[in-house]
Amino acid sequence: MRRVFKTWLARRVHVIPRRMARLFRRVPGAVRLRQLALGSPQPGTTFAGRLRPVVYLPTWLTWAGMKQRPQYLLAELAAAGHQTFFVDPRARRESSADGVRIVPSLASVPADYPILYVHFAPVTGFFRLFREPVIVYDILDDLSIYDADEVGTPEERRVRFHHPAVMRRADLVIASSQTLIDRHRPERPDLLLVENGVDATRFASPANRPPDLPPGRPLIGYHGAIAPWFDFDLLEQVAILRPDWSFVLVGPTVGRVGHRLTRIARLHNIHHIGERPSETMPSYVQAFDVGAIWFVMDRLTEGVSPLKMFEYLAAGVPVVAPPLPACLESPLVLTAAGAHEWCRAIEQALRPSDQAPRRAAGAAASWDRRVEPVLARLDGEGLRRVPG
């Protein structure tokens, strides 16, 4: 990864509008956060014993576009009975999706006794706007992703500065992989593992093959961001070794990787069809003969819990991946290092096999199950409900 993180951060789900990027550069600290909020949370009548509302504080993330872990977890908290708000200053009006209210400002959210879901440490300036908030801090990635030579704006470079304070202040800290748990346990011995998951029902439900997929078979598919951690060299080598296989990439380019993607897409059997709506992804994944995870091996990727791994499995698709810790934990995932090993692993994955174990593994990783330990921990510490 190089000096591309600002672009990656902005496009992880959607591009931040230019006016917001300028705001991030000009306005320091808590003042910037207040202006981003475009209002203040509203005090109101509270009822002791009721479930606390959940508030997602504004970051670069939007509800639209490629769905990520925060959106899925928020939807499950809403399904568990919490009134849930996703604050997005780019939203033109209030709307709702998956039981979550998407609102353009903090003026639409309750100020009293909320659960604040946080995954971007610099939002700490918002905490003081709320009355007795419960802070849930979600560590999505290794902090190396925020290193100073990787990022663009001063606020992004301050993530490491804010992180220790959030770790101390948070009532609950969760992380997406055992590797991240091990790395951060000295800071918080009570860290809770909440791996990534899958909307298992949606990915298991039969869907028609999308017409924009290449016709050749076998079809080795990848869906997700085409980003600096994507292993372009490995894919190119495998595609050259197996010219009769078709390789398809479904997802947006993130960061300055366009020239690398253009280079490998010159091969006749590599097809990048771009980003597709999140709701259509099951139809693409189900059309794959093999689901690939083309990640480089480094400190960042060694800490990931790949969403796509669970989505491939839920769709019944065989999975081939690099030997990342999270992938090595699953006996259903074939791991390989180097182009020749990848070719052999894909050949093994293409052999006829029973889909049932893979679908069962996907069902076991459903998001409603993933959120259960979060609810149990909050319940056990008396933090889910309004005090009184």
60 alpha-carbon distance from chain centroid: 13
Q: Which pLDDT belongs to residue 388?
A: 72
Range in 62-66, 179-183, 216-220, 259-263 the model is least confident about = 62-66
CA atoms within 13 A on the CB side of 253: 13
What is the C-alpha separation between 216 and 207, in angstroms, rounded? 19
61 alpha-carbon distance from chain centroid: 10
Examine the pLDDT at 31 and tell me if it is beyond 50.
no
Q: Which pLDDT belongs to residue 254?
A: 82
Across 353-379, average pLDDT: 96
Q: Which pLDDT belongs to residue 44?
A: 65
Domains contained in the chain, CATH given: 5-194+371-380 (3.40.50), 200-364 (3.40.50.2000)
Q: Which pLDDT belongs to residue 45?
A: 58
Structure pTM?
Answer: 0.85
Under the banding of pLDDT at 50, 70 and 90, the label for residue 60 is confident
| Structure token pair of residue 214 | 């290449």
Examine the pLDDT at 41 and tell me if it is beyond 80.
no
Q: Cβ contacts of residue 327 below 8 Å, gap of 6+?
A: 293, 306, 309, 319, 321, 333, 335
Residue 229's φ and ψ, nearest 5 degrees, are -90, 5
Q: Which pLDDT belongs to residue 19?
A: 37
Examine the pLDDT at 13 and tell me if it is beyond 50.
no
Looking at per-residue confidence, does 48 or 356 come out higher? Answer: 356
> For the chain, how far is it from start to end, CA to CA, in angstroms?
50
What is the C-alpha separation between 388 and 133, in angstroms, rounded? 14
Which of 192, 291, 200 lies closest to 248 in space, CA to CA? 291
Examine the pLDDT at 228 and tell me if it is beyond 90.
no
Across 180-186, average pLDDT: 96
Under the banding of pLDDT at 50, 70 and 90, the label for residue 214 is very high
Percent of the chain with pLDDT over 90: 71
Sign (positive/negative) of CA torsion 221, 138, 194, 189? positive
